[in-house]
Structures are given as C-alpha cells and as structure tokens.
Amino acid sequence: MAGTGKSTSLNYARQPVDSAKLNVILKQATLPYEEVDFSQSQTSLQGDALRLVVNICRRCPKLRVLKLFKNDINDQGAETIADMLSQKPEID
C-alpha cells in the first residue's frame, strides 16, 4: 500500500473499503501518507466507511492529495469531507 521513495500513499482505488483493515491503520497515532486514494471505491463511501477515510486523513500530517472521485458521496458525506478539508488547507 505504501509508495516508494519519499512519497508515501495509501491506495484503495477500485477496491472495496475494508473496515477491519482501516481500523488497523487507525491504531497508529499519526500516519505517514502524503496521498490517500479511495477513488472509484467498490463500497459506497457513506456513513461509517466515509468516517473511517476521513479519520485516516485527519491523522496524516503530511497529506497533500486526497482522491475520492467517482464515489456515491451524499450531502452529509460532502459536509464531513468539507469539515476535514477546512482543517487541512494543504490538501490539493
């Protein structure tokens, strides 16, 4: 899941969101990821799944890129993402 070189990424593009795996990742105090990619997820990014993704992003002090395109994110999910983004203006 991690990239090579200085840049690290968490890539779940075109995969189902596995809550158990994401909860293991969340057990770390801070996360090294600069890019988080859940684009075209095979699991709907709403409710608990989206909250897990947002919690991961919040724990990534070096996060610069967040990819969530082609997901069925509802209005409540958009508000959750907007709240997180307002706290992380460095994300592209």
The answer to whether residue 4 sits within a structural domain is no
The answer to whether residue 91 sits within a structural domain is no
Tokens of 68: 């969530």
The pLDDT assigned to 56 comes to 96
Please give the order of strands across the beta sheet that includes 65-67: 9-11, 35-37, 65-67
- Backbone torsions φ then ψ of 65, nearest 5 degrees: -135, 130
The pLDDT assigned to 92 comes to 63
The pLDDT assigned to 4 comes to 45
Q: What is the pTM of this model?
A: 0.85
The answer to whether residue 44 sits within a structural domain is yes
Report the SS3 class of residue 52.
Answer: helix
The answer to whether residue 19 sits within a structural domain is yes
When divided into structural domains, the chain yields a total of 1
Report in angstroms the alpha-carbon separations of 28 from 5, 8, 23, 42: 21, 15, 9, 25
pLDDT band for position 3 (50/70/90)? very low
CB 8 within 8 A of CB 37: no
User: Which of residues 43 and 36 earns the better pLDDT score?
Assistant: 36
The pLDDT assigned to 90 comes to 78
Work out the average pLDDT over 5-15: 84
